């Protein structure tokens, strides 16, 4: 499943569903809304969504791996921390807030 985020303030973002849904929930959308085929952050909701997402990032410690262990080192090469995963969406939300425009998403199978 793929999520496409769109806003007049930034370029389109494509994100896998298993990455997009947790970010939407961290930004304040309920699980049902985050799983919906379409959704929106209105311009009025952007400040709260940004604050919630930033708080979740701040509260999530970076992953720690023992790079001396080959299995752990392999996991480290594959891992993406929440702040890295959220960066494109967070930037889109900030740009949309600055322009006072909505951010919409659409889920495709």
For residues 60-87, average pLDDT? 83
More confident residue, 11 or 73: 11
What's the Cα-to-Cα distance from 18 to each of 35, 67, 81, 85, rounded to whole Å? 10, 26, 14, 11
Mean per-residue pLDDT over the chain, rounded: 93
* The pLDDT of residue 78 is above 80: no
Per-domain residue ranges of the chain: 2-108
- The torsion angles phi and psi of 77, rounded to 5 degrees, stand at -65, -25
104 neighbors 5 (Cβ within 8 angstroms):
yes
Q: Which residue has the tokens 């997402």?
A: 53
- The residue behind tokens 């990032």 is 57
pTM of the entire predicted model: 0.88
Q: Where are the strands (E) in 8-99, listed by range?
A: 10-16, 38-41
Q: Is the pLDDT of residue 76 over 80?
A: no
pLDDT computed for residue 66 by the predictor? 81
């Amino acid at each position: 499943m793929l999520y496409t985020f769109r806003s007049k303030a930034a370029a389109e973002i494509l994100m896998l569903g298993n990455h997009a849904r947790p970010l939407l929930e961290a930004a304040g959308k309920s699980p049902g809304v985050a799983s919906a085929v379409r959704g929106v952050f209105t311009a009025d909701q952007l400040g709260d969504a940004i604050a919630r997402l930033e708080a979740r990032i701040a509260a999530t410690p970076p992953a720690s791996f023992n790079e001396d262990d080959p299995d752990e080192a392999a996991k480290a090469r594959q891992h993406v921390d929440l702040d890295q995963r959220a960066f494109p969406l967070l930037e889109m939300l900030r740009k949309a807030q600055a322009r006072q425009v909505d951010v919409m998403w659409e889920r495709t199978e």
